[in-house]
Chains A and B, each alone.
Chain A
Amino acid sequence: MAPNSESGGGQPGGDAAKWYELFSRGARDWLRHDEKVRESVRQHLPQIVAGGELINGGSRTVRVPVRMLEHYHFRLRRPEEQQGAGQGKAKPGDVFADPSKQRGPGEKGPGGQDEGEVQLLLEFKVDDIVDWLWEEMELPNLKARVGPSEDSDWVREGWDRRGARSRLDRRRSFKELVKRRGAPGATPTFTDEDLRYRQLARRRQPAIHAVVFFLLDVSGSMSDRDRKLAKTFFFWVVQGLRREYRSLETVFVAHTTEAWEFTEAEFFQVSGTGGTVASTGLAKVQEIIDERYNPSRCNIYLFYASDGDNSVSDSADARETLSAIAEDACFTGYVEVSSGLSRQLATETGRLFAEMAAAGCAAGSYALNDFDDVWGAVRHFFSAESRAEETASP
């Protein structure tokens, strides 16, 4: 929301209207207010955006509803909060404020006199948020495996006598002038011959090749909230990694008792019913790796989100497939979403990943219980510092 300057009420007198626009203090203070709100939203961004309505059909903004700022001020207690006190005829046990007099939720009250509240809807660009929050995070264990794709970039290279004004190299031009004049002391004057412009050239570099698998358990035991929690985590991971690595490939897989590969847009909408057989999902990932990615030329990552309730009969299969993947992968991460229950990874799948880590594979897990935690999870997996701490004190 931003103030739009209005022409003075459709009045023809242009000069007079302009004179009064000089006083547009309302707009100025409005902007200052918005700035303050944005500042404070920004300070609490991890909590706010994680719970926000953000996976809305590919739109690149997050909407955060906020209230207007208000002055601190003294005010009288509301009648509901008041308690009686007195020195009169009251006896111990008398009730002064009768809570039963308060209106029940079903009843209608008298029409209000107060002015309605105005709510601001702030829009943040996803890219901005990632800029603010995604600090010094990186894929763990990234190895210099070079794939078929290449980055190309413009680099400065050499000088020329012609070029864009903005790339004029003053120091170089001045040297040319001195060279031409030779004798010191004479007043130097530039000619077009002296000017030197920096040139740009396109250079290709082999890109580091990485693929990230996002595997999501969408079985019936995952509640809507669990699913949303996992998707929120994935969403921010995808945003952050894309920003960091230009040639990053992503693969989205969801599983119940079967497994399917999805496009990104579909993946964030997917839901399912049925039992949980983790090995099917892992097998699907393995299949895709075999089909499309050569582990020796590609960094492979797997992030798996589930509530951890794998069916018991599947545990042997799951272990086998997971260790096969872990051999090729640079890192496998497990996010346990269990809203309300903080089981701290004491589940079937949780134990599986703990075993893997104990066996020396690059694996990690994180218990994600609440939306406030999403950025904690992101930091856990991708910030170099938190991983260093972890290895220091396992």
Chain B
Amino acid sequence: MTDETWQSYTRRIEELAARSGLAFHPVDFEAVPDTFMMEIAVYGLPVRMPHWSFGVRYIYQLIQRHMGHSRLFEVVFPGNPGHAYLASSNGLAENILVTAHVLGHADFSRNNLLFKRCQEQLSEHIVEHAANHARQIQQAIETHGLQRVEIVLDAALALEQHIDVDQSLRRSRYSEYLDEKRTPEDDEFRKRFAQLEPTAASSGVEPKKRAPVPPHPERDLLWFVAQYAPEMESWERDIFLAVRENPSISIRCLPLRS
């Protein structure tokens, strides 16, 4: 594949896309070896913490590839600019098709509400954000040892699916007390009532009631555990929160399967 030919095609495809009404952030393309491609697909992100379960997925992916069941053409990460990894084994024709396909993804991820909200909360530097989490976990491994971190990750990753996409990434804790009843306004009637019987008016101040935890059924399990688990160390809570943010980041475009 000659870069120049492909780049000229890319320019033409972008023009075509703009003409047909697609609105997208610019996309950086990078051609990477197949093995690296597989790893991005397995880990969901270009950088992610080490964990044995990714090794299992990697083996599956490797076997699938060797048996010819699956071939990865591209992985796209939304953002501004978006980043697309293309397999370096793609031919020119394949790359032209894939480029057009990626622009479709870019249009979708710019205009999709869920993506939009996610990107607003994380800024648009998704990959850098993920790298921070990976570093944070690497540091935890250095301080607390692989064994202990792995136990926490085992627990956190088991709950990985249980996130609530409708909730904000940075949630605050539940309010500790139930909402107080609004004190009624001092209208004419209440003034006169208070004059009538001074003790009755002051009884409006009731002790605050503690809210139950959780106050409503909670889907955001990782967040809930991180916030309310009684016996966890702070670094363990941090790992839960990091794991919680990762899948939301990696609502990535599923790799094409041939």
Which chain B positions have C-beta within 8 A of A30?
55-56, 58-59
The interface bits of chain B over 36-67 (1 if a CB of A lies within 8 angstroms of the residue's CB, else 0) are 10110011001010111111101111110000
Q: Pull 14 A–B residue pairs with CB atoms less than 8 Å apart, ordered by A.
A: A8-B36, A8-B88, A9-B34, A11-B33, A17-B33, A21-B35, A25-B48, A26-B42, A26-B43, A26-B54, A27-B58, A29-B52, A29-B55, A30-B59
Interface 9-residue window, one of B153-161, B172-180, B195-203: B153-161
Say whether A9 contacts B87, CB under 8 Å.
yes
The residue in chain A whose Cβ has the minimal distance to the Cβ of B42 is: A26
Complex alpha-carbon distance, A25 and B32, angstroms: 15
Task: Provide the residues of chain B in CB contact with A81, threshold 8 Å.
Answer: none
Given known pairs A17-B33, A24-B39, A25-B50, the reply for A11 and B88 (CB within 8 Å) is yes
Instruction: Give the 6 A-B residue pairs with the shortest CB-CB distance, closest first.
Output: A8-B33, A29-B55, A26-B58, A30-B55, A33-B55, A9-B34
Stretch at the interface among A64-72, A147-155, A342-350, A353-361: A64-72
State the CA gap A28–B39 with chains docked (Å): 11
Q: Which residue of B lies closest to A17 (CB)?
A: B33
The chain A residue with its CB closest to the CB of B89 is: A9
Q: Which of the residues B53, B61, B89 comes within 8 Å of A71, measured between beta carbons?
A: B53
**Do B50 and A29 touch (CB < 8 A)?**
yes
Additional A-B contacts beyond A25-B39, A69-B56 (12; CB < 8 A):
A6-B34, A9-B35, A9-B88, A9-B89, A20-B35, A24-B39, A26-B62, A29-B55, A30-B56, A33-B53, A73-B158, A118-B59
Contacts of A68 in B (CB 8 A): 56, 59
- The complex places the Cα of A72 from the Cα of B55 at a distance, in Å, of 16
Interface residues on B, range: 20 to 34
Contact B52 A32 (CB under 8 A): yes
Contact of A26 among B39, B88, B89 (CB under 8 A): B39
A328 vs B154: C-alpha distance in the bound complex, in angstroms? 59
B39 and A72: CB pair below 8 A?
Answer: no
A residues touching B (Cβ–Cβ < 8 Å)?
6, 8-11, 16-17, 20-21, 23-36, 68-74, 115, 118
Task: Determine the residue in chain A with the shortest Cβ distance to B33.
Answer: A8
User: CB distance A29 to B54 under 8 Å?
Assistant: yes
Residues of A within 8 A of B89 (CB): 9-11
The distance from the CB of B88 to the nearest CB of chain A, in whole angstroms, is 5
User: How many Å lie between the Cα of A28 and that of B53 in the bound state?
Assistant: 11
Name the residue of chain A whose CB is nearest to the CB of B32: A20
Q: Given A36-B52, A69-B53, does the pair A26, B33 have CB atoms closer than 8 Å?
A: no
**Chain A residue with the shortest CB-CB distance to B67:** A116
Please report the C-alpha to C-alpha distance between residue A157 and residue B55 in the assembled complex, in whole angstroms. 51
- Min CB distance B35 to A, Å, is 5
Chain A nearest Cβ from B64, distance in angstroms? 8
User: What is the minimal beta-carbon distance from B37 to any residue of chain A, in angstroms?
Assistant: 8
**Complex Cα distance A6/B39, Å?**
13
Distance of A30 Cα from B162 Cα, bound (Å): 25
By a CB distance below 8 angstroms, the chain B residues around A71 are 53, 154, 157-158
Residue of A with least CB distance to B161: A73
A29 with B58: CB separation less than 8 A: yes
A25 to B61, CA, bound (A): 14
Q: Which of B34, B35, B46, B62 has the most CB of A within 10 A?
A: B35
Q: Which residue of A lies closest to B90 (CB)?
A: A9
Residues of chain A with a CB closer than 8 A to B55's CB: 26, 28-34
Q: Decide: B33 and A20 in contact? CB cutoff 8 A.
A: yes
CA distance A115 to B157 in the complex (A): 21
Which B residues are in CB contact (< 8 Å) with A23? 36, 39, 46
Residues of chain A within 8 A (CB-CB) of B43 are 25-26
In the complex, which of the residues A10, A33, A35 has the most CB atoms of chain B within 10 Å of its own CB atom? Answer: A33
User: What are the residues of chain A within 8 A of B39 when measuring CB–CB?
Assistant: 23-26
